[in-house]
Amino acid sequence: MQARLLSLILASAAWAMGSLAAHAAPADYKIDLDHTYATFAIDHNGASINRARFGEVSGSVRFDKEAGAGAIDIVVQTASVYSGSKGFDEHLRTADLFDTARHPTMRFVSNRLVFDGERLVEVPGQLTLLGQTHPVTLKALQFRCYPNQRAKTEACGGDFEAVIDRTLWGMDYLVKVGMPKSVRIGATIEAFKQ
Protein backbone atom coordinates (compact mmCIF):
# COMPACT_ATOMS: atom_id res chain seq x y z
CA MET A 1 0.00 0.00 0.00
CA GLN A 2 2.76 2.45 0.97
CA ALA A 3 4.77 1.53 -2.14
CA ARG A 4 1.71 2.17 -4.32
CA LEU A 5 1.02 5.50 -2.59
CA LEU A 6 4.67 6.51 -2.99
CA SER A 7 4.59 5.65 -6.71
CA LEU A 8 1.40 7.68 -7.18
CA ILE A 9 2.99 10.66 -5.42
CA LEU A 10 6.17 10.37 -7.50
CA ALA A 11 4.19 9.97 -10.73
CA SER A 12 2.06 13.01 -9.86
CA ALA A 13 5.14 15.05 -9.01
CA ALA A 14 6.85 14.04 -12.27
CA TRP A 15 3.72 14.97 -14.26
CA ALA A 16 3.45 18.33 -12.48
CA MET A 17 7.13 19.12 -13.06
CA GLY A 18 6.84 18.17 -16.73
CA SER A 19 3.70 20.23 -17.07
CA LEU A 20 5.35 23.27 -15.47
CA ALA A 21 8.40 22.89 -17.67
CA ALA A 22 6.20 22.69 -20.76
CA HIS A 23 4.33 25.87 -19.81
CA ALA A 24 7.48 27.79 -18.86
CA ALA A 25 9.46 26.95 -21.99
CA PRO A 26 9.84 29.61 -24.65
CA ALA A 27 8.14 28.75 -27.92
CA ASP A 28 9.21 29.46 -31.48
CA TYR A 29 6.80 31.19 -33.87
CA LYS A 30 7.11 31.52 -37.63
CA ILE A 31 5.98 34.72 -39.33
CA ASP A 32 2.67 34.38 -41.20
CA LEU A 33 3.47 35.93 -44.58
CA ASP A 34 -0.22 36.63 -45.28
CA HIS A 35 -0.68 38.81 -42.19
CA THR A 36 2.68 40.52 -41.79
CA TYR A 37 3.93 43.72 -43.42
CA ALA A 38 5.88 46.87 -42.67
CA THR A 39 4.78 50.45 -43.39
CA PHE A 40 6.03 54.00 -43.38
CA ALA A 41 4.41 57.42 -43.48
CA ILE A 42 6.09 60.79 -44.02
CA ASP A 43 4.73 64.29 -44.29
CA HIS A 44 4.69 65.59 -47.89
CA ASN A 45 5.22 69.36 -47.83
CA GLY A 46 2.60 69.88 -45.15
CA ALA A 47 -0.09 69.07 -47.70
CA SER A 48 -0.51 65.32 -47.37
CA ILE A 49 1.08 62.17 -46.00
CA ASN A 50 3.02 59.80 -48.26
CA ARG A 51 2.38 56.21 -47.18
CA ALA A 52 3.68 52.88 -48.41
CA ARG A 53 4.02 49.31 -47.29
CA PHE A 54 6.47 46.49 -47.79
CA GLY A 55 4.67 43.27 -48.62
CA GLU A 56 7.56 40.80 -48.43
CA VAL A 57 8.45 40.26 -44.80
CA SER A 58 9.89 37.13 -43.19
CA GLY A 59 11.34 36.19 -39.86
CA SER A 60 10.80 34.51 -36.54
CA VAL A 61 9.63 35.21 -33.03
CA ARG A 62 10.56 33.45 -29.78
CA PHE A 63 8.09 34.07 -26.98
CA ASP A 64 7.92 32.92 -23.38
CA LYS A 65 4.50 33.91 -22.02
CA GLU A 66 5.25 32.92 -18.45
CA ALA A 67 8.45 34.96 -18.25
CA GLY A 68 7.16 37.84 -20.39
CA ALA A 69 10.27 37.52 -22.54
CA GLY A 70 11.11 36.94 -26.14
CA ALA A 71 13.03 37.84 -29.27
CA ILE A 72 12.08 39.03 -32.75
CA ASP A 73 14.03 38.89 -36.01
CA ILE A 74 12.24 40.46 -38.98
CA VAL A 75 13.65 40.84 -42.51
CA VAL A 76 11.95 43.14 -45.04
CA GLN A 77 12.61 42.96 -48.79
CA THR A 78 12.99 46.64 -49.67
CA ALA A 79 12.04 46.17 -53.35
CA SER A 80 8.59 45.00 -52.21
CA VAL A 81 7.63 48.60 -51.39
CA TYR A 82 4.18 49.57 -52.68
CA SER A 83 2.55 52.99 -52.44
CA GLY A 84 -0.16 52.64 -55.08
CA SER A 85 1.82 54.82 -57.50
CA LYS A 86 4.14 53.04 -59.93
CA GLY A 87 6.30 56.14 -60.43
CA PHE A 88 6.65 56.77 -56.70
CA ASP A 89 7.45 53.09 -56.07
CA GLU A 90 10.22 53.23 -58.68
CA HIS A 91 11.66 56.36 -57.06
CA LEU A 92 11.51 54.78 -53.59
CA ARG A 93 13.72 51.95 -54.91
CA THR A 94 16.44 54.32 -56.20
CA ALA A 95 19.65 55.42 -54.48
CA ASP A 96 17.80 58.60 -53.35
CA LEU A 97 15.83 56.55 -50.83
CA PHE A 98 15.89 52.78 -50.17
CA ASP A 99 18.63 51.97 -52.73
CA THR A 100 17.22 48.48 -53.20
CA ALA A 101 19.93 47.41 -55.67
CA ARG A 102 22.63 47.85 -53.01
CA HIS A 103 20.49 47.19 -49.93
CA PRO A 104 17.86 44.57 -50.80
CA THR A 105 16.81 44.08 -47.17
CA MET A 106 16.25 45.95 -43.96
CA ARG A 107 16.14 44.11 -40.66
CA PHE A 108 14.79 44.63 -37.15
CA VAL A 109 16.23 42.47 -34.35
CA SER A 110 15.18 42.53 -30.70
CA ASN A 111 16.12 40.30 -27.79
CA ARG A 112 13.73 41.90 -25.31
CA LEU A 113 10.00 42.43 -24.92
CA VAL A 114 8.82 44.95 -22.33
CA PHE A 115 5.59 44.18 -20.48
CA ASP A 116 3.44 46.23 -18.11
CA GLY A 117 1.77 43.42 -16.19
CA GLU A 118 0.36 41.15 -18.91
CA ARG A 119 0.34 43.85 -21.60
CA LEU A 120 3.20 44.09 -24.11
CA VAL A 121 4.13 47.78 -24.32
CA GLU A 122 7.33 48.00 -26.33
CA VAL A 123 9.99 46.13 -28.23
CA PRO A 124 13.45 47.74 -28.08
CA GLY A 125 15.77 46.59 -30.82
CA GLN A 126 18.14 47.43 -33.65
CA LEU A 127 17.06 48.50 -37.15
CA THR A 128 19.47 47.94 -40.02
CA LEU A 129 18.66 50.11 -43.04
CA LEU A 130 20.95 51.23 -45.88
CA GLY A 131 23.78 49.26 -44.28
CA GLN A 132 23.63 51.13 -40.96
CA THR A 133 22.29 49.86 -37.64
CA HIS A 134 20.74 52.05 -34.94
CA PRO A 135 18.45 51.46 -31.94
CA VAL A 136 14.69 51.72 -32.43
CA THR A 137 11.97 51.02 -29.90
CA LEU A 138 8.67 49.85 -31.36
CA LYS A 139 5.62 50.76 -29.28
CA ALA A 140 2.99 48.02 -29.11
CA LEU A 141 -0.39 49.44 -30.13
CA GLN A 142 -2.00 46.05 -29.56
CA PHE A 143 -0.84 42.47 -29.05
CA ARG A 144 -2.65 39.19 -28.46
CA CYS A 145 -2.21 35.43 -28.71
CA TYR A 146 -5.15 33.26 -29.74
CA PRO A 147 -5.96 29.80 -31.15
CA ASN A 148 -5.84 30.17 -34.95
CA GLN A 149 -8.38 27.87 -36.59
CA ARG A 150 -6.82 28.04 -40.07
CA ALA A 151 -3.31 27.12 -38.91
CA LYS A 152 -4.57 24.82 -36.13
CA THR A 153 -2.07 26.27 -33.69
CA GLU A 154 -1.61 29.31 -31.50
CA ALA A 155 -0.99 32.61 -33.26
CA CYS A 156 0.42 35.75 -31.68
CA GLY A 157 0.23 39.09 -33.38
CA GLY A 158 0.19 42.80 -32.97
CA ASP A 159 0.63 46.27 -34.40
CA PHE A 160 3.77 48.23 -33.58
CA GLU A 161 5.09 51.67 -34.48
CA ALA A 162 7.92 54.13 -33.92
CA VAL A 163 9.01 57.51 -35.20
CA ILE A 164 12.58 57.58 -36.50
CA ASP A 165 14.97 60.20 -37.85
CA ARG A 166 15.76 58.80 -41.30
CA THR A 167 18.99 60.80 -41.55
CA LEU A 168 20.58 58.56 -38.89
CA TRP A 169 20.61 55.85 -41.57
CA GLY A 170 21.91 58.23 -44.26
CA MET A 171 18.55 58.80 -45.94
CA ASP A 172 18.95 62.55 -46.49
CA TYR A 173 16.89 63.02 -49.66
CA LEU A 174 15.29 66.54 -49.78
CA VAL A 175 16.05 67.28 -46.11
CA LYS A 176 17.95 70.45 -47.09
CA VAL A 177 14.86 71.81 -48.85
CA GLY A 178 12.49 71.12 -45.98
CA MET A 179 11.34 67.51 -46.33
CA PRO A 180 10.99 66.14 -42.77
CA LYS A 181 13.57 63.88 -41.18
CA SER A 182 10.89 62.16 -39.10
CA VAL A 183 9.24 59.07 -40.50
CA ARG A 184 6.57 56.99 -38.79
CA ILE A 185 7.33 53.32 -39.30
CA GLY A 186 4.96 50.49 -38.51
CA ALA A 187 4.88 46.72 -38.39
CA THR A 188 1.87 44.45 -38.41
CA ILE A 189 3.10 41.03 -37.33
CA GLU A 190 1.37 37.70 -36.92
CA ALA A 191 3.23 34.47 -36.22
CA PHE A 192 2.27 30.82 -35.77
CA LYS A 193 3.58 28.66 -32.94
CA GLN A 194 5.81 25.89 -34.28
Average pLDDT over residues 52-76: 96
Checking if the pLDDT of 22 tops 70, the result is no
pLDDT for position 68: 92
- Residue extents of the structural domains in the chain: 26-193
pLDDT for position 49: 95
8-12, 100-104, 135-139, 152-156: least confidently modelled range: 8-12
**More confident position, 10 or 125:** 125
Whole-structure pTM value: 0.85
Which numeric CATH code is attached to 26-193? 2.40.128.110
Amino acid residing at 36: T
Percentage of residues of the chain with pLDDT beyond 90: 84
pLDDT for position 43: 94
Secondary structure in 3-state letters for the chain: CHHHHHHHHHHHHHHHHHHHHHHHCCEEEEECHHHCEEEEEEEECCCEEEEEEECCEEEEEEEECCCCEEEEEEEEEHHHEECCCHHHHHHHCCCCCCCCCCCCEEEEEECCCEEECCEEEEEEEEEEECCEEEEEEEEEEEEEEEEECCCCEEEEEEEEEEEEEHHHHCCCCCHHHCCCCEEEEEEEEEEEEC
pLDDT for position 126: 99
pLDDT for position 45: 84
pLDDT tens-digit readout, 101-131:
999 999 999 999 999 999 999 999 999 999 9
38-52, 98-112, 158-172: least confidently modelled range: 38-52
